[in-house]
Structure 1
């Protein structure tokens, strides 16, 4: 993730607060969850081009306001820094922030660097205390399991070599002309794990995407989902059957605040491995060139 990506999120938050827009309202306007917006504003998620344009439209700002390093963005970063509870009794106003940026931008940047360092040290201290005590201090991690998943993925740099290796092995067994066909995946599940994949039209009033019946060893997939989604579900089932030990090993090396966040992370790893089976990283990288 580039430095520019890291800066866009806090800038969005600063502009949103300047306009007095609540996070819940903006997330609804953007058609994303409040927790996902929190990840973006916290610099923990990249933002794609379409969503970035939609943000600019809702906040009534120009794209350059978010993507260029000018005095406006410097003022926004200072506003974000001074929004901390540590400074709430000082009642520092917007014009005073602009005066600082205009008269002494070096001092403004120094304050931002100092604030970033403080937040990093605070985060490290909280993590150390949590590891020693086995208790969660940062309540945000228990409130939003999605943030825990994001922390887990970032700690591993979004790369899980053992799952990539497993996926490459499976891909070589089921691919035809460097492509994975749905029928090939289903046949592999049947031959390797005795699991039958069935495409089913859900009963009226009983919608579903997928159901795995462990006793019957049947993977039921809704006929209402796309073919690509069916392929991912089936590939993730291969990961469940063949790479569960590797997945549990990754999970065991991370301190989860709740069982819910651990289960959500497990699903993320199954989908990661499933996606890698459909399109291994090396093949994806070569086709992008």
Structure 2
């Protein structure tokens, strides 16, 4: 098996700058020549195993985290951006894009932001041409897009909140007692907040009356949801200063984005409190990522467990790099994160051949799929349908599919892979990221032609598609 060469010039240069060392002094500490170090820093030569070990020994660099997951995500976003026909024949090659993602990430983010603004302008022009002059905000990302990208590019891991939640979980001994009882007791003892049942006529999951110091919870919500909402409220009371600092550093464009991010950060804290990092990581390995067993052990829902698995990105203590998504029945991806090479489309719906859609057809079952993307990377994907009910028979039932997966090299860590045959190449279903950028020419489930391709229509011949992709 051929391993990819590792170009980490920017990381090495940042490490040298942080040490206030010249190239000569830094090279001497690594045991290499100054010219070799110069070539590494300029990504003219890959870093060797010996240099990696020297970085780990002399500068406490985490080898496991140096593979460049941030650059992988940027590269995926750049490739999708440059797939737009607006760039014509000026599309850079993969190696050029890799150099940009590795050496000039700020420039890469700027290009992606410019393309987003262009797309929004184009869509507005197509739909609201007569209103364009009066609409001054069409070139700006929506608040939800801003927040989505914030979590995406911090690897869906917020260290200060994660560690604070883990410490509080240990103080409350959540691993030994019933979570709801411990959390409600903490609210009462430390914040003088008492719990009450929300009224039968109110469709609320949580309502906090700050003046009366009362937290109202929906009595018909599952225990895992009530515990999560208590953890959310604890975060709002305990972590306000920390969250304010994180939002300040993010420099969002609008107040709306800041407030949406605040909700996301509080949700993050709540998940980290219910599923504290080290105990949860240990249990995930021990139970081989069995979602049901993990949910029972920690008093959590399947969605909470699956989402938490995608956040295990702490330096020197990472979990299996997984992707996670929540999809509604219309195919909209309402939650997404990938610590693997699989990156979700920023525009358009997900591939119809992905097993996440099949989950709606078989409620209550875990659907397992071996899949291969057009770049040749193979994955294990697990999907199941979840239903959220906040009342009785007449109450709305929200249905989602959640999907979790990993690259096939990690599949042995999942109990769901035990009955699958990885050695059979035909067992891997060809899936894409999104029809608009998928390179497959022979997919009969294709919704639209790929952006970079031309089509030919033969009125005398019809196959699975009414056109042929050239």
TM range (shorter): 0.5 to 0.7
Please tell me whether residue 247 in structure 1 is matched to residue 243 in structure 2: yes
Alpha-carbon offset, residue 261 of structure 1: 1.1
Distance 1:224 1:113, change over 3 A: farther
Tell whether the 8 Å contact from 2:207 to 2:215 is kept in structure 1 after alignment.
Answer: yes
Please tell me whether residue 166 in structure 1 is matched to residue 148 in structure 2: no
Distance 1:119 1:142, change over 3 A: farther
Please tell me whether residue 273 in structure 1 is matched to residue 274 in structure 2: no
**What are the ranges of 5 or more consecutive residues in structure 2 without an aligned counterpart?**
5-72, 121-138, 286-470
Deviations 1:6-64 (A, max 9, x none): xxxxxxxxxxxxxxxxxxxxxxxxxxxxxxxxxx9x957xxxxxxxxxxxxxxxxxxxx
TM-score using structure 1 length? 0.55
Alpha-carbon offset, residue 123 of structure 1: 7.7
Please tell me whether residue 191 in structure 1 is matched to residue 189 in structure 2: yes
Alpha-carbon offset, residue 251 of structure 1: 1.0
SS of the residue corresponding to residue 253 of structure 1 reads helix
**What are the ranges of 5 or more consecutive residues in structure 1 without an aligned counterpart?**
4-39, 45-76, 91-107, 130-135
In 1, the alpha carbon distance for the partners of 2:284 and 2:238 equals: 29
In 2, the alpha carbon distance for the partners of 1:83 and 1:138 equals: 11
In 2, the alpha carbon distance for the partners of 1:271 and 1:243 equals: 12
Aligned match of 1:262 in 229, 254, 258?
Answer: 258
In 1, the alpha carbon distance for the partners of 2:266 and 2:93 equals: 42
Alpha-carbon offset, residue 275 of structure 1: 1.0
TM-score using structure 2 length? 0.35
In structure 1, what is the equivalent of residue 319 of structure 2?
Answer: none
Q: CA RMSD in A?
A: 3.7
Please tell me whether residue 86 in structure 1 is matched to residue 87 in structure 2: yes
In structure 1, what is the equivalent of residue 207 of structure 2?
Answer: 211
Alpha-carbon offset, residue 196 of structure 1: 1.0
Comparing both structures, which one devotes a greater share of its residues to helix? 1
In structure 2, what is the equivalent of residue 288 of structure 1?
Answer: 284
Alpha-carbon offset, residue 146 of structure 1: 2.5
In 1, the alpha carbon distance for the partners of 2:84 and 2:241 equals: 45
Distance 1:162 1:185, change over 3 A: same
Distance 1:210 1:128, change over 3 A: same
In structure 2, what is the equivalent of residue 233 of structure 1?
Answer: 229
Alpha-carbon offset, residue 197 of structure 1: 1.5
Question: What is the count of residue pairs matched by the alignment?
Answer: 190
SS of the residue corresponding to residue 195 of structure 2 reads strand
Rg larger in structure: 2
In 2, the alpha carbon distance for the partners of 1:235 and 1:243 equals: 11
Deviations 1:264-289 (A, max 9, x none): 11111111111111111111110011
Tell whether the 8 Å contact from 1:171 to 1:277 is kept in structure 2 after alignment.
Answer: yes
In 2, the alpha carbon distance for the partners of 1:258 and 1:220 equals: 30
Distance 1:277 1:82, change over 3 A: closer
Comparing both structures, which one devotes a greater share of its residues to strand? 2
Task: Using CA pairs under 8 Å that are at least 6 residues apart, name the structure with larger relative contact order, 1 or 2.
Answer: 1
Alpha-carbon offset, residue 154 of structure 1: 3.3
